[in-house]
Amino acid sequence: MGLFLSTIINKIDKKGRVSVPASFRVTLGSQGYQGVILFRSYKYPALEGCGLQYMERLSGSVDQLDLFSQTQDDFAATLFADSMQIAFDGEGRILLPESLISFVSLEDQVAFVGRGATFQIWNPEKFKAHQEKARERLASHSQTLKLQAGNCGPRGGDDVS
């Protein structure tokens, strides 16, 4: 499974069509579905984007919760009932529904933000402010990240700071 990397700003036309970055399309296409799954973030003014394989993993995680519990119901309503499968057109674009455009406050540009296994779609100015605050939080708390051991090369267990 490929990764979604970088922040790419693309234009959105008056009909709500936006070109998905080529590298994102390659990652999504390798998962067997020629399109994207989008749903409203419950944490940020952004859309969460992923492929079908990742959505299946989310489904498996929700299925591990107690059947008929409020938490399971809330996750199902937030993740699955709100998700949209949006196919690519012949030019690699997707058509964003007005409800999603309004949720993110998109105007003429869209920020595709890589998050590793997933990506987000933001209003570019809102993402810039969010990213600056995230950097400040990490720096002020001197946060580090333990690099997962594995196929990461000779420094597989080092901290990344």
CB 126 within 8 A of CB 7: no
Taking 80 as the threshold, does the pLDDT of residue 32 lie above it?
no
CB 41 within 8 A of CB 122: no
Question: In the structure, what pLDDT confidence band is assigned to residue 144 with cuts at 50, 70 and 90?
Answer: confident
Instruction: Tell me yes or no: is domain 7-144 CATH 3.40.1550.20.
Output: yes
CB 76 within 8 A of CB 58: no
CA pair distance 138, 122, nearest whole angstrom: 21
**Residue extents of the structural domains in the chain:** 7-144
Taking 90 as the threshold, does the pLDDT of residue 106 lie above it?
yes
Express each pLDDT in 108-118 by its tens digit.
999 999 999 99
CA pair distance 120, 50, nearest whole angstrom: 8
CA pair distance 105, 86, nearest whole angstrom: 19
